[in-house]
């Protein structure tokens, strides 16, 4: 399906070095045409169920039967995440759980889900662009303030930092500062076919808004929860899933 299941040692070392030094890494042409078409067909099918408005699927149950679930369960792909994490953190992850997500920013409701700066719950984030706008001034680029913090030993410090940064006021402030060039994040136009890697737990990030007329779909694989098993992390994941379900419920056509 893709070279994601065939990454050699030298390339995985290069990916980790790029994440450490420049804040992100790219595996170019990681998906072949057939793999991308399969993902696109799946997204199109799901988008139709959501009136072409924003939706997100969190976790394997929501993605059952999808090409993303198949990739996430491929041993060579799992081993890639394990190796990158171990090289980056200097030790194996406490949990080998992978959290897959499909996000589809489209229509009027997509705007609210953009510029939503956050730190991920897990150290390693792998991003697969599926659709990105090819026209308009706002193309949903990935915005990164890379490696702003280390992994925290105390889950409460993590929660406090999330509380400080991940609220409407702070997000607005960051967006205004970026617009006025007071803050200069990395702005990465993500290109379908390539796959992107960054330390999601350590990097404040979000996607730029995109024109509501266009679709921006990304798949994410999150791996390596530094606070694995902590009650608070489980609560955060539950809240995210609950939030995603609420957004879907708002945009779903009524069941008939």
Ligand X SMILES: O=C(O)CCC(=O)C(=O)O
Q: Which residues bind ligand X (CB under 6 A)?
A: 101, 103, 120, 127, 142, 205, 207, 218, 220
The strand pairing partners of 27, in sequence order, are: 195
| 120 vs 225 by CB, closer to Fe ion | 120
101 binding partner (options Fe ion, ligand X, none; Cβ < 5 to 8 Å by kind): ligand X
Tokens standing for residue 37: 């078409």
Which residues of this chain interact with Fe ion, rule CB under 5 A?
120, 200
CB burial of 93-122 (b: ≥16 within 10 Å; e: otherwise) equals beeeebbbbbbbbbbebbeebbbebebbbb
Least separation in angstroms between residue 125's CB and Fe ion is 6
Cα gap 228→38, rounded to integer Å: 33
| 123 vs 127 by CB, closer to ligand X | 127
- 230 Cβ contact list (under 8 Å, min separation 6): 155
Tokens standing for residue 139: 């193309």
CA dihedral 225, 226, 231, 234 (to 10 degrees): -20
Least separation in angstroms between residue 256's CB and ligand X is 31
Least separation in angstroms between residue 11's CB and ligand X is 23
Least separation in angstroms between residue 9's CB and ligand X is 28
207 binding partner (options Fe ion, ligand X, none; Cβ < 5 to 8 Å by kind): ligand X
81 binding partner (options Fe ion, ligand X, none; Cβ < 5 to 8 Å by kind): none
- Per the CB < 8 A criterion, the answer to whether 149 and 224 are in contact is no
218 binding partner (options ligand X, Fe ion, none; Cβ < 5 to 8 Å by kind): ligand X
């Amino acid at each position: 399906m893709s070279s994601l299941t065939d990454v050699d040692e030298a390339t995985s070392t290069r990916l980790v070095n790029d994440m450490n030094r420049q804040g992100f890494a790219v595996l170019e042409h990681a998906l072949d045409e057939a793999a991308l078409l399969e993902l696109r067909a799946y997204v199109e099918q799901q988008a139709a169920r959501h009136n072409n408005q924003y939706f997100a699927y969190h976790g394997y149950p929501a993605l059952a039967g999808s090409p993303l679930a198949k990739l996430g369960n491929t041993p060579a792909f799992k081993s890639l995440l394990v190796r990158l994490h171990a090289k980056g953190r200097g030790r194996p992850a406490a949990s080998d759980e992978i959290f897959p997500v499909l996000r589809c920013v489209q229509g009027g409701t997509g705007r609210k889900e953009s510029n939503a700066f956050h730190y991920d719950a897990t150290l390693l984030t792998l991003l697969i662009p599926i659709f990105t706008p090819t026209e308009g001034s706002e193309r949903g680029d990935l915005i990164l303030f890379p490696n702003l913090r280390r992994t925290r030993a105390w889950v409460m410090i993590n929660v406090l930092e999330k509380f400080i940064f991940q609220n409407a006021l702070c997000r607005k402030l960051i967006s205004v500062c970026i617009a006025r060039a007071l803050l200069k994040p990395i702005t990465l136009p993500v290109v379908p076919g390539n796959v992107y890697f960054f330390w999601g737990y350590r990097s404040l990030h979000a996607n730029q808004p995109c024109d509501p007329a266009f679709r921006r779909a990304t798949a994410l694989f999150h791996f390596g929860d530094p606070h694995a098993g902590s009650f608070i992390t489980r609560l955060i994941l539950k809240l995210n899933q609950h939030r995603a379900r609420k957004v879907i419920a708002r945009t779903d056509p009524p069941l008939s």
